Chains A and B, each alone.
Chain A
């Protein structure tokens, strides 16, 4: 370390009020493998604060920065997409669970023996059979069969085994 003494006062007789600080020695080893770029900056032509900050960004590799930024963008988009899919899966259910044919599983290729609502939308939910026109109660029925105040409880067998779609087909 080199001791540096800066005078804080100047008088007619000399200097006084010394402040001192230690200056680090030259360590040329770390920059030996650096690119030997000769600085063309003159002593009085150095840009100040803003110029230094702007130049600092150009010293690094611009290509690596662009690639890093692109990868970061892709990561953010993928995370958002995954979050959206997970939210839809939790709240709505898997694709095709509502009877609407999905693009990956069209109606023509679906197994006819598999009812549309074979999988409950939520864990623990009772599967709801699809509406069948011929099985619907008549419109003139005074009380619907599923009304809670009908007075007669549905039979366990009827509630346990939903009607098979293959029978109608």
Chain B
């Protein structure tokens, strides 16, 4: 009789709760990572050597739709029994210091990545992880129930707000939901800590 062993966690360098999302970060040397020819080793250094593979050729962005949410993530990878939804073209290209990455955090980018993953998961009907690759760090987002519910239940309202006939983009949905998430009492502490560190 064999017992199921829990998979070994990845060597994340830090993690924090930011606006209801558990954020895990992995810092790397951008010069070393960018020198790799393999896409996974270059964009997902923490998963170097794993079995993750791109679903579409590199640089080709496919559309994924779940309800009224239409996304075009930068890359979608198959990884085990699930998918990885990766964004690496957003952000401002700044290097984030390991000691101060919370102060330099961008909530809008985080919510866009989660919305991207929701669209991919809804269309492919597979569990999908939301990832963002910055200049020198890789992030994995684990959204809480409040964040997921807020994003999922405000798609129609965001479509009306942006006067879109068919669908909204993850950026539009994130911009619509961010002030509502900041107003939630349970998430005010984490949002306040980000604002305080920014000040």
**A146 close to chain B: CB less than 8 A:** no
What's the least CB distance linking B55 to chain A, in Å?
14
Q: Of B10, B155, B166, B172, which contacts A24 at CB under 8 A? A: B155
**B75 close to chain A: CB less than 8 A:** no
**A10 close to chain B: CB less than 8 A:** yes
- Contacts A31-B164, A49-B178 given; indicate if A6 touches B9 (C-beta within 8 A): no
- Complexed CA–CA distance, A16 and B126 (Å): 11
Instruction: Determine whether the beta carbon of A4 is less than 8 Å from that of B152.
Output: yes
What's the least CB distance linking A8 to chain B, in Å?
4
* CB-defined contacts of B122 to chain A, threshold 8 Å: 2-4, 23
* CB-defined contacts of B172 to chain A, threshold 8 Å: 39, 41, 46
Contact residue range for chain A? 35 or more
**A19 close to chain B: CB less than 8 A:** yes
What's the least CB distance linking A31 to chain B, in Å?
6
Instruction: Determine whether the beta carbon of A39 is less than 8 Å from that of B162.
Output: yes
Q: Of A10, A23, A30, A59, which contacts B129 at CB under 8 A? A: A10
Instruction: Determine whether the beta carbon of B170 is less than 8 Å from that of A28.
Output: no
Instruction: Determine whether the beta carbon of A30 is less than 8 Å from that of B169.
Output: no
Instruction: Determine whether the beta carbon of A4 is less than 8 Å from that of B84.
Output: no
Instruction: Determine whether the beta carbon of A39 is less than 8 Å from that of B164.
Output: yes
Instruction: Determine whether the beta carbon of A52 is less than 8 Å from that of B178.
Output: yes
- Contacts A35-B163, A41-B162, A49-B182 given; indicate if A15 touches B152 (C-beta within 8 A): no
- Interface residues, chain B, CB within 8 Å of chain A? 7-10, 22, 47, 50-51, 66-69, 72, 79-84, 89-90, 107-108, 112, 114, 117-118, 121-122, 125-131, 140, 142-143, 145, 148-149, 151-153, 155-156, 159-167, 169-172, 174-176, 178-179, 182
- What 4 pairs across the A-B complex have the smallest Cβ distances? A14-B80, A15-B82, A11-B7, A7-B129
Question: Could you jot down 25 A-B contacts, CB within 8 Å?
Answer: A2-B66, A2-B122, A3-B125, A4-B66, A6-B117, A6-B128, A6-B130, A8-B142, A10-B10, A10-B47, A14-B82, A15-B82, A21-B145, A23-B122, A26-B67, A30-B160, A31-B164, A32-B165, A39-B162, A39-B164, A39-B172, A41-B169, A44-B90, A46-B108, A52-B179
